[in-house]
Amino acid sequence: MEKKKKTTTTKSKVVSVLRRYLWLVSPERASALKRDNYTCQKCGRKQSRAKGKEQKVEVHHKVGVLNWDKMTDNIFQYLLCEVKHLVTLCPECHKKEEKV
């Protein structure tokens, strides 16, 4: 009989997963998407769920989040910031913006 491998979950992994979930369901993120009409503010691509034409958009923090590990101490200052500090971008434009 084979032994099942135990998966170890570190506190930082749990915090990371919870932080991501909190951001995805936040009213700040939803407000930014609605304000920008679910459209990339750089290239104009609009989010679509149409079969074969799927296009996602993401919400980018204009003032970057520099240290995700320390962010838990300042979650409301950085992650759940005011909507004016957020912008909707498609994944390609978001990647470019993160490099800046």
What's the domain count of the chain? 1
Residue 4 phi, psi dihedral angles, 5° rounding? -80, 140
In a domain, 80, yes or no: yes
In a domain, 5, yes or no: no
Q: What's the rounded Cα separation, in Å, for the pair 53 and 49? A: 7
Note the pLDDT tens digit of each residue in 72-91.
Answer: 666 666 667 788 989 999 99
Structure token digits, residue 42: 């750089």
In a domain, 3, yes or no: no
Q: What's the rounded Cα separation, in Å, for the pair 35 and 19? A: 23
What range does the domain containing 93 cover?
11-99
Note the pLDDT tens digit of each residue in 23-62.
Answer: 889 999 999 999 999 999 999 999 999 999 999 999 998 8
| pTM of the full structure | 0.60
Give the model's confidence band at 9: pLDDT under 50 very low, under 70 low, under 90 confident, else very high: low
In a domain, 36, yes or no: yes
The CB density around residue 82, as the number of other CB atoms within 10 Å, is 9
